[in-house]
Amino acid sequence: MPSPQLKICGMLHPENIREVAALQPDYLGFIFFKGSKRYAGTVLPETLDALPENIKKTGVFVNETLEMVLSLVHKYNLNALQLHGAESPEFCQELKLKLNTSGAQKVQLIKSFGVDEDFDFSQLNAYVGRVDYFLFDTQTPDHGGSGRQFDWQLLSKYTLETPYFLSGGIGLESAEMLNGIVDPRLFAIDVNSKFEIEPGLKDLSKLKEFKSKLT
C-alpha cells in the first residue's frame, strides 16, 4: 500500500510558501474564505505560478459562488479545489461539469466534512462520482482550523470506496498513529495549525520532522 500523500494547508506568506514548497509536499492549500485567519486573497498569483509543477495548488472555499470559485481557479491556476462548507452534491456536479468544459487542465475536487459522534456517513452517498476525494475534518463551527482531532475510530463507519484526506488537529505526535492506519482509501494527510508559528506561518523544522516520521 503506498504511503499517504501530504497536504500542507493555510499558506499565506510568500517566503514561507517558497520554503515549505522546498519540502516537496504533494499539495499546498490556500484558503479563500474571508472569515479565516489564513485568508489568502492577498497572495499574488505569481507566487503560486513559481511553485514546482508537481505540487498541487489547492484552493479552499466555504459556501462560495460557482462564479467566484471558477474565477479564482483561473486567476491562480489551481490544480485542486477543497469545498469546506455545506456545498450540495448538485453544486459539486455543476462545478465539475464547468471545470471539465472550461478547457483547463484537470482540477481535482475534494469535499470536506466535519466528523463527530453524530455524523451521518450515509450523506456521502450522494457525492459519489461528483467529487474525486472526501476530506474528513473535526466538526467545528468555524469550518476547520480548530487544532482538535476527532475520534478516528468513527471512520470504521465509512464504507464507500472514494479515497479521502484525513485532517483535524494532526501534529508531530500523530505520526505514529497515522503510520498504524491500514486503509488503502487514506489518500492524503492534511496538516495546518499544529505546525504554525502564527496563523498562516508554518514551522519548517516541525514539518521536516513530521515528514520524516511518516512511513
Is residue 146 over pLDDT 70?
A: no
Distances from the Cα of 168 to the Cα of 69, 84, 90, 135, 146, angstroms: 24, 13, 26, 10, 7
**Selected catalytic residue, list 92, 132, 137, 190:** 137
**Selected catalytic residue, list 9, 92, 132, 190:** 9
Confidence grade of residue 160 (pLDDT, cut at 50, 70, 90): very high
58 bridge partner residues: 29, 80
Total residue count of the chain as it appears in this document: 215
CATH (domain of 106): 3.20.20.70
Tens digits of residue pLDDT in 87-107:
999 999 999 999 988 665 789
112 Cβ neighbours under 8 A, 6+ residues apart = 82, 83, 84, 134, 135, 136, 137, 144, 165, 167
> Rounded CA gap, 198 and 203, in Å?
9
Task: Check residue 42 and give its pLDDT.
Answer: 95
Indicate the number of domains in the chain: 1
Q: Domain residues for 89? A: 5-213
What's the rounded mean pLDDT across residues 25-47?
96
Copy the grid coordinates of residue 134: 472526501
Least reliable range by pLDDT among 18-22, 120-124, 148-152, 187-191: 148-152
Q: Could you confirm whether 92 is annotated as catalytic?
A: no
Give this prediction's pTM. Answer: 0.95
